[in-house]
């Protein structure tokens, strides 16, 4: 019954993301070594060491002593200020095949930039160069493409150039797997077994009861369970109950669940852990970006 539904791997030479910088900050506070952090995030040890040097600042403590600490905000600001995207147009201008592919997917097929980059990674498509989602947004903002502009984007239509909404980082949930790492085929609803889960609080005043609602992405099937309250304990109880109810079929019916960052969902280790096949994962949990439905 053991399973691992995440088939995404880090590609070589990939830049650290803002979310990963916050993860590094937390892991350093937990006294993890660069080697341990590199294994946890999938980067080379030297990448983590260079990152910690870049983001280290000297702080004055309440005891009026100076201490050097890594700050994710500082490192992210330096990363952006250092002109990481300088000359970006030149990079993609040497790969006309990639440029045409991106334009066709977004303009003709209605893909978002994130969906295009995700598809390239999942399908293993080969081009002369590679870019990340943030770089692609930056190219579009700067007018690098001949045919593609912000007006062609699903989210950026009717918005002024360079004003796309920045993805918020879930600071209280940096250890759970982000929706950014969710395989593209889940987004496309190509396979049964990938669910979204949410809590709905009862409308009766003074009642703490809530409904746990699971919606299957492909079939739109719904499962609704009544809970006495909206807590981690109640959510886990219902998910454990579903595993017992479906038994050996659970792993084929429930392959992944995408959640928001509500407090009742933050214990992802318990949600993923099987109560029947002890020590194994029963399902993969992904977390949406804050304030994104």
Residue pLDDT, tens place only, 5-18? 444 444 445 678 88
Listed in sequence order, the residues at least 6 apart from 158 whose beta carbon sits closer than 8 Å to its beta carbon are: 151
pLDDT in tens, 159-197: 444 444 444 544 555 667 888 788 888 888 889 999 999
Task: Look at residue 205 in the predicted model and tell me its pLDDT.
Answer: 62
Give the pLDDT confidence score for residue 192 in this predicted structure: 93
Residues 6+ apart with CB under 8 A from 23: 40, 41, 174, 175
**For the chain, domain boundaries:** 18-81, 88-152, 177-287
pLDDT at 77 over 80: no
Regarding the domain delimited by 177-287, which CATH topology (the fold level of the hierarchy) does it fall under? Nucleotidyltransferase; domain 5 (3.30.420)
CA distance readout (Å), 100 to 61, 93, 127: 53, 11, 11
Give me the pLDDT at residue 194, please. Answer: 94
pLDDT at 2 (0 to 100):
42
Q: Is 223 helix (H, G, I), strand (E, B) or coil?
A: strand
State if pTM tops 0.75.
no
Tokens coding 293: 């439905």
In whole angstroms, give the CA distance from residue 219 to residue 195. 10
Residues 41 and 48 sit within 8 Å (Cβ to Cβ): yes
Strands annotated E in the chain: 56-60, 66-70, 177-178, 194-201, 210-216, 222-227, 256-259, 284-287
In this structure, are residues 227 and 235 in contact, taking their beta carbons and an 8 Å threshold? yes
Question: How do residues 25-38 score in pLDDT, each as one tens digit?
Answer: 888 888 999 999 99
b/e burial code for range 251-272 (CB count within 10 A of at least 16 → b): beebbbbbbbbeebbbbbeebb
pLDDT at 282 over 80: yes
CA–CA dist 157, 106 (Å, integer): 12
Beta strands in 33-112 (DSSP E): 56-60, 66-70
State residue 290's pLDDT score: 66
Bigger pLDDT: 293 or 262?
Answer: 262
pLDDT (average), residues 275-291: 86
Phi first, then psi: what are they for 290, rounded to 5°? -55, 140
Does the structure show a pLDDT above 70 at 1?
Answer: no
Supply the pLDDT for residue 29. 86
State the pLDDT at residue 283: 94
Tell me the pLDDT band of 202, cut-offs 50, 70 and 90: low
pLDDT band of residue 4 (cuts 50, 70, 90) is: very low
- Average pLDDT score over the chain: 80
What end-to-end distance do the CA atoms of the chain give, in Å?
A: 31
Cβ proximity of 265 and 227 under 8 Å: no
Provide mean pLDDT across the span 136-151. Answer: 81
Q: Across residues 125-136, what is the average pLDDT?
A: 84
The C-alpha atoms of residue 238 and residue 257 are separated, in whole angstroms, by 14
Give the Cα separation of 19 and 126 in Å (integer).
27
- What is the reported pLDDT for 123? 85
Compute the average pLDDT of residues 189-210.
Answer: 82
């Amino acid at each position: 019954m053991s399973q691992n539904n995440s088939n995404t791997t880090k590609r070589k030479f990939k830049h650290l993301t803002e979310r990963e910088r916050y993860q590094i900050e937390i892991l350093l506070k937990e006294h993890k070594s660069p080697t341990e952090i590199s294994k946890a995030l999938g980067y080379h040890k030297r990448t983590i060491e260079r990152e910690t040097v870049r983001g280290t600042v000297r702080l004055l403590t309440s005891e009026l002593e100076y201490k050097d600490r890594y700050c994710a905000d500082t490192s992210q600001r330096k990363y952006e200020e250092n002109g990481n995207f300088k000359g970006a147009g030149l990079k993609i201008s040497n790969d006309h095949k990639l440029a045409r592919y991106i334009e066709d997917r977004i303009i003709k097929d209605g893909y978002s930039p994130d969906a295009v980059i995700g598809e390239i990674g999942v399908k293993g498509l080969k081009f002369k160069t590679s870019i990340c989602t943030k770089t692609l947004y930056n190219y579009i903002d700067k007018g690098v493409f001949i045919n593609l502009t912000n007006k062609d984007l699903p989210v950026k239509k009717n918005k002024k150039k360079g004003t796309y909404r920045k993805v918020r980082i879930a600071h209280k949930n940096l250890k759970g797997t982000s929706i950014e790492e969710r395989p593209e085929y889940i987004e496309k609803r190509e396979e049964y077994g990938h669910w979204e889960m949410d809590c709905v609080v009862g409308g009766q005043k003074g009642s703490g009861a809530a409904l746990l609602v699971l919606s299957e992405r492909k079939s739109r099937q719904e499962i609704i369970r009544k809970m006495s309250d909206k807590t981690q304990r109640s959510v886990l109880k219902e998910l454990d109950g579903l595993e017992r109810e479906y038994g050996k079929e659970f792993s084929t019916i429930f392959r992944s669940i995408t959640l928001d960052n509500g407090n009742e969902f933050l214990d992802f280790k318990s949600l993923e852990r099987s109560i029947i096949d002890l020590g194994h994962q029963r399902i993969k949990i992904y977390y949406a970006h804050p304030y994104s439905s």
